[in-house]
Chain A
Amino acid sequence: MLRWLLVCISLWVALPAWAASVSLSVSTSKLAVSQATRATVTVLGAQPVGIPVFEPVDGLSLRYVTQTSTPVSTVDQGIVYARRYVFEVEAERVGTYALGPAEVALPGGATVASPPVTITVTERSAEAQDAPLVATSRFLEDTVWEGEVVLYTAEVRARKPIRNVAWALPKFEGLQQVGQGEERQYGVLDPSGDITVNDVTVAMLASGTGDRTQAPAVARVSVLQPGGGPWGLPQTRTRSIAGQEAPLTVRPLPPPPPGFNGLVGDYDLRSSFGTTEGIAVGQSVPWVVEIVGDGVVDGVELPIPELPEARIYRDTTESVGRLVEGRWMARKRFQLVLVPTAPGTLELPPLELVTFSPSQGRYVTVKAQLGTLTVVGEGARVDVQTFGADGEIAGPEPVDLVDIYGWGPATTPPLAPLIPFGLVLAVLPGVLVLGLDGRDGVRSWWSSRTVRRAVAVRGRGRLRSLPSEPSERLAVLDLALREALADHVSTPVSQLRRAEALDAVVMDTRTVVEGAFTALDLARFAGGAVPPDVDELVRAAIDALETR
């Protein structure tokens, strides 16, 4: 019946609270001869001894592949390890087979087993002629009760590589989605070419009665084209493919008995007290009650008994529900506080909830036995005689802590307080060098400024204070004239060639300048008398050069 059966999570309903559970699931329950799929045995909350064992099935061959171990968050057990053992199941002959139960050995000699799953094997010829892309959509049950949670699944099977499957689901008139849907993609091994399967499952609450047949789901699929596209990039072609109409009939509930609170599903009621070592009058005893089942628990309220020798206070409530391994699971936790008001034996009546069980088709009363508490006078402490429901509760397998270090230093000198001192020491040489560089820079700037000032006295400036000694006076006049000429022709004084420079001067100025040079040369180098107006000649020549 089911496309992919995920049956065995039901142990959390059947077994005592927090015990280990084993489930068996297969990726697909429909195979053709020679096709293979994966079967996974999941063990929650226990460390198995060895790998799970199956009874041989004539018509199927089973091969162990691998195992993994990961912590998972479960609805009813908190965080526990999920150990998954993966097998490859190959169909050998046509028929309907029960695979399992998978038996898992636990430490101490105990054995737990999963319910079997059904695998249907069809003729290979029919499967081989399948279209390259096939979609199906349906409810996992055709008939449900009003208020029951039913799963809707849509699936696309492709013989070509596919990616980016986008589903358009029907509007689900008369149904309400609860929780998040679940989508997965897996492969089926086939000698004619492996098959890729993408399916989506959503949980729906049947809120309306009558015929609730739904329109087909439509998948929009990107099919990878053989050969790829340019530059070696994958090339895809988008195709839309529709499944089938999904028939569903919702039956109305029979007239409810007194006390029915609307819960439709198979439920378990759990109770535990937080304090286990002595209860005194007036002491607050934490009390947790949980309703766990495969229906919707959001709106349910817990009937609190009234006790003459204790007061009960409501604290917080928390509800959660989601798809776990293909099955809808929900839990509502009530946190209460019980305060005994008198010493003695406190008889606690059982908690009772009237629910409708779809599997039995009738109303049932779910109970949790609370037992008795022994209460002593204020301040005394004695052991609790009984508590909780159904005898001793096995503690959950704790998630393994990361183990201790077996060796290593016992002490570690703290480094952080030394950071400022270390930084000061580290930066000191750099700061010192920067200081020295700065000092050098200041000096360099000062000396260059002084040189600039000295160099600025040139040409006409030299005439402002001429030496009195004749030869020095002539030398300064000559230097001043040469500087003026050099500036006039834009040539450094040291590279000045007088004849070439004079050729670059206009005739009038050149005559004046040549006259001044001649007078100076005669006086300095030819032993001639110093002309009395040599100062004026040089000044006039410099004026002429600077004017031009």
Chain B
Amino acid sequence: MIAFVAASLAGPVWDGATRWEEGDIEGAVAAWAPAADAGWGSARIKFDLGNAWYRRGDLPRAIAYWRAAGHLAPRESGVSRNIAIARSELPADTPPPAGDPALWMRVVTPGELGIAAWLLTIAGSVGLVRRRRLREGSRTPWVALTVTGLLVGAIATRGWWHQVQSPVAVVIDAPAQARSAPDPTAAGHLQLPPGSEVAVVDASNGFLLVQTGDGERGWVPDGAVLRVPR
């Protein structure tokens, strides 16, 4: 606990917050971005980085980092609030966001649900071992507990796998032309303004097949979007 507190007070979150309080938004981004993009970035640092991008006027990146924070901390009401504010400032022709998580993932993360499943399963296993050792009681409740834990674990694993297999990306910097094939010469049929939140369905030849919230699909260059960091 002491190590956690010490790391929390001396880490990038603290550094960036200090610069933020001084009005140095660029410095805050410089402090937060490396840790947020390192792969194991916490919900807090991604949330803070979203705020920084918002203050810099970059709504797409703000939305991307807030959505990343929402994956890690779905019960944080501030995340959904800030996303709603940013979305309200997007152009009216922005398609509806794609890749909204399943209902249960708006309450718990797959990791948290996995821990609950693990605890249920281990409780069932320990109960079975204890029952065998003491030769008393019924095994049915312990088997039921174990099976419940495994089912919950399967749901958690499926949710995590879905996040991995169907990432969300946000169109950044400039409108992206969605084309009918992963080829720069293919016909474009859909214009995605910056801030469009799309689900990444496939990748090929430096292009991503993306799908908007209203079901429209098209290939956009990989560099036109920012994948929601995990």
Interface residues of A (CB under 8 A from B): 78-79, 274, 286, 315-316, 318, 335, 398-399, 401-420, 422-423, 426-431, 433-434, 436-437
Q: Closest residue to A434 on the B side, CB-wise? A: B128
Tell me whether B111 and A427 are in contact (CB under 8 A). Answer: no
Q: Whole-angstrom distance from the CB of B84 to the nearest CB of chain A?
A: 9
The chain B residue with its CB closest to the CB of A316 is B92
Contact A430 B124 (CB under 8 A): yes
Q: List 19 A-B contacts (CB under 8 A).
A: A79-B88, A318-B92, A398-B85, A401-B85, A404-B17, A405-B17, A408-B44, A410-B36, A411-B42, A414-B230, A415-B110, A416-B114, A419-B111, A419-B160, A426-B149, A427-B125, A429-B128, A430-B121, A433-B132
The residue in A286, A315, A318, A433 that gathers the most chain B C-beta atoms within 10 A of its C-beta is A433
Q: Is B157 an interface residue (CB 8 A)?
A: yes
Contact partners of A408 in chain B: CB under 8 A: 8, 11, 13, 42, 44-45
Provide the bound-state CA to CA distance between A411 and B47, in Å. 12
Complex CA distance for A415 and B150, rounded to whole angstroms: 16
For B186, what are the chain A residues with a Cβ–Cβ distance below 8 Å? none
The B41-94 residues at the A interface (CB cut-off 8 A) are 41-45, 47-48, 51-52, 54, 72, 77-79, 81-82, 85, 88, 91-93
B143 touches A (CB below 8 Å)? yes
B203 CB-CB contact with A under 8 Å: no
Mostly, the B contact residues are helix
Q: Determine whether the beta carbon of A410 is less than 8 Å from that of B11.
A: yes
Partner of A419 from the list B35, B47, B77, B156 (CB cut-off 8 Å) is B156
Q: Across the interface, do B48 and A404 meet the contact criterion of CB distance under 8 Å?
A: yes
Contact B54–A401 (Cβ < 8 Å): yes
Contact call A419/B153, Cβ cutoff below 8 A: yes
A410 and B41 form a contact (CB under 8 A): yes
Contact, CB under 8 Å: B17 / A428: no
Residue of A274, A398, A416, A433 contacting most chain B CB atoms (<10 Å): A416
Is B126 an interface residue when CB atoms closer than 8 A count as contact?
yes
Cβ-defined contact, B132 with A405, below 8 A = no
With the chains together, A412 CA to B72 CA distance in Å? 9
Contact between A409 and B150, CB atoms less than 8 A apart:
no
Which one of B38, B72, B118 has the greatest number of beta carbons of chain A within 10 Å? B118
Contact residues in B for A437 (Cβ distance below 8 Å): 132, 139
Chain A residue nearest to B112 (CB atoms) is A415
Question: Which residue on chain B has the smallest CB distance to residue A398?
Answer: B85
Question: By the criterion CB–CB under 8 Å, are A409 and B115 in contact?
Answer: no
Checking A316, A410, A418 against B35 with a beta-carbon cut-off of 8 angstroms, the contacting residue is A410
- Does A413 lie within 8 Å of B40, measured CB to CB? yes
Q: Is B196 an interface residue (CB 8 A)?
A: no
Q: How many A-B residue pairs have CB under 8 A?
A: 158
User: What separation, in Å, do the CA atoms of A419 and B125 have in the docked complex?
Assistant: 16
Residues of B within 8 A of A399 (CB): 85
- Asked if residues A427 and B132 are in contact (CB atoms below 8 Å), the reply is no
Question: How would residues 1 to 21 of chain B score, 1 for a CB under 8 Å from any chain A CB and 0 otherwise?
Answer: 000100111011110110010
Q: Which of chain A's residues have a CB closer than 8 A to the CB of B149?
A: 423, 426-427
Contact of B129 with A by CB under 8 A: yes
**Given known A-B contacts A403-B51, A426-B149, A409 and B129 have beta carbons under 8 A apart:** no
| CB-nearest residue of chain B to A409 | B42
Contact between chains at A401 and B51 (CB < 8 Å):
yes
Given contacts A399-B85, A409-B8, A428-B125, contact A415 B111 (CB under 8 A): yes
Residues of B contacting A431 with CB < 8 Å?
125
Q: In the complex, what distance in Å separates the CA atom of A78 from the CA atom of B35? A: 35
In the complex, the answer to whether A430 meets B11 with C-beta atoms within 8 Å is no
Q: Which one, A78, A406, A415, A434, contacts B13 given CB within 8 A?
A: A406
Is A430 within 8 A of B14, CB to CB?
Answer: no
From known contacts A401-B82, A404-B17, A427-B150, infer whether A434 and B121 are also in contact, taking CB-CB under 8 Å. Answer: no
Asked if B48 and A405 sit within 8 Å, CB to CB, the answer is yes
Residues of A contacting B48 in the complex (Cβ-Cβ under 8 angstroms): 404-405
Q: Give B17's nearest chain A residue, CB to CB.
A: A406
Note all chain A residues with C-beta closer than 8 A to B114. 415-416, 418-419, 422-423
From 97 to 147 in chain B, residues with beta carbon under 8 angstroms from any chain A beta carbon are 109-112, 114-115, 117-118, 121-122, 124-129, 131-132, 139, 142-143, 146
- Asked if A402 and B82 sit within 8 Å, CB to CB, the answer is yes
Closest B residue to A422 by CB, please name it: B118
- Closest Cβ of chain B: how far from A285's Cβ, in Å? 13
- CB-contact partner of A405 in B4, B44, B230, under 8 A: B44
Query: Which residue of A274, A414, A436 is within 8 Å of B111 (Cβ)?
Result: A414
